[in-house]
């Protein structure tokens, strides 16, 4: 667990800092809210963790990797580790922002899924910046040294990153772009196959895609790529395999076998079965016996 967090409150800021946890997947190190004074700057420095700022109002400038960004309300800027940065508030309209800083083995991955990389350190919030402010305030309000508060702060940090990722994906969809898939095609296919095995009696392909969280067209594409059949073909084959098993190993009637694998009409089942195997279910059972 973290040692005691360092909590400070001033006229223009609230600030909470704690020591990182080694080898953690995600660990909050600093967070805060600041209404900057005109021209307030942070000298060029290199940090060990990620700093993500959400601009609530005002303006300021970020200088990073020989590039300069002039930023304002509704924008996010991120400072990655091991890269020198310099940023400062506007002279006449200084920015007011909230920020979270964190480290962890998955920190870079989560930010990449949110559309933030060292090569692209700036993006729009795509939602009200106050949504991020609300979560940061909740972290600051749980500053006391308790295990429950530490768990709450970590959970809220995950919520902030989830909002970052979700808002970016929603913006892509609003502009008719397909968000990048989070996992490999093999993993999606494995999950779809397991779902089919568990629910084959009463499931549609659209429900499989919805359960996994991908489109039906993408599900069809990766099935054909990995298994050389469509999801519908795989589902049909699996149902009929179960029917064959029941015909061989039980004395269930043809109607009961049909219902067991998801066909309310035994005539429909018999027709599909014969088209596939060249035998009716009754003759298949006789031939096997």
E strand or H helix at 6: strand 6-9
* Max Cα distance, the chain (Å): 90
Task: Check if the beta carbon of residue 87 is closer than 8 Å to that of residue 42.
Answer: yes
State how far the Cα of 262 lies from the Cα of 81, in Å rounded to an integer.
55
Q: What is the DSSP string of 45-102?
A: E--SSEEEEEEEESEEEEEETTEEEEEETTEEEEE-TTS-EEEEE-SSSB-EEEEEEE
The pLDDT tens digits of the residues spanning 63-110 come to 999 999 999 999 999 999 999 999 999 999 999 999 999 999 999 999
Task: Give the pLDDT of residue 5.
Answer: 66
Task: Give the pLDDT of residue 183.
Answer: 87
Which domains can be identified in the chain, with CATH numbers? 6-174 (2.60.120.280), 185-288 (1.10.10.60)
Burial 247-258 (b: 16+ CB within 10 A, else e): beeeeeebeebb
Task: Give the pLDDT of residue 206.
Answer: 94
E strand or H helix at 32: strand 27-35
SS3 label, residue 34: strand
Q: Could you read off the pLDDT tens digit of each residue along the chain, which spans 289 residues? A: 444 568 899 989 999 998 888 889 999 999 999 999 999 999 898 999 999 999 999 999 999 999 999 999 999 999 999 999 999 999 999 999 999 999 999 999 999 999 999 999 999 999 999 999 999 999 999 999 899 999 999 999 999 999 999 999 999 888 888 788 888 999 999 999 999 999 999 999 999 999 998 889 999 999 999 999 999 999 999 999 999 999 999 999 999 999 999 999 999 999 999 999 999 999 999 987 7
CB atoms within 10 A of CB 147: 9
CA 120 to chain centre: 19
Task: Give the pLDDT of residue 175.
Answer: 86
The pLDDT tens digits of the residues spanning 245-280 come to 999 999 999 999 999 999 999 999 999 999 999 999
* C-alpha dihedral, 243 to 244 to 247 to 253, nearest 10°: 30
């Amino acid at each position: 667990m973290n040692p005691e967090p360092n909590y400070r409150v001033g006229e223009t800021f609230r600030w909470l800092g704690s020591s990182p946890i080694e080898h953690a997947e995600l660990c909050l190190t600093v967070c805060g809210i600041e209404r900057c004074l005109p021209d307030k700057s942070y000298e060029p420095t290199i940090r060990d963790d990620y700093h993500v700022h959400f601009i609530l109002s005002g303006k300021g400038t970020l200088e990073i990797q020989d590039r300069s960004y002039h930023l304002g309300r509704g924008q996010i800027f991120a400072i990655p580790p091991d890269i020198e940065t310099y940023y400062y508030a506007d002279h006449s309209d200084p920015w007011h922002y909230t920020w979270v800083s964190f480290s962890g083995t998955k920190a870079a991955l989560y930010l990449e899924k949110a559309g933030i990389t060292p090569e692209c350190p700036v993006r729009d919030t795509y939602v009200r910046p106050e949504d991020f402010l609300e979560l940061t305030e909740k972290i600051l309000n749980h500053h006391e040294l308790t295990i429950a508060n530490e768990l709450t702060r970590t959970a809220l940090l995950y919520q902030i990153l989830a909002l970052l990722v979700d808002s970016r994906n929603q913006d892509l969809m609003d502009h008719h772009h397909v968000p990048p898939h989070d996992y490999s095609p093999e993993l999606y296919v494995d999950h779809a196959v397991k779902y089919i095995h568990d629910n084959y009696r009463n499931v549609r392909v659209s429900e499989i895609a919805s359960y996994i969280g991908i489109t039906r067209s993408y599900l069809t594409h990766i099935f054909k790529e990995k298994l050389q059949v469509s999801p519908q073909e795989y589902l049909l084959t699996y149902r009929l395999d179960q029917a064959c098993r029941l015909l061989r190993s039980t004395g269930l009637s043809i109607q009961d076998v049909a219902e067991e694998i998801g066909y309310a009409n035994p005539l429909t089942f018999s027709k599909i079965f014969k088209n596939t195997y060249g035998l009716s279910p009754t003759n298949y059972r006789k031939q096997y016996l």
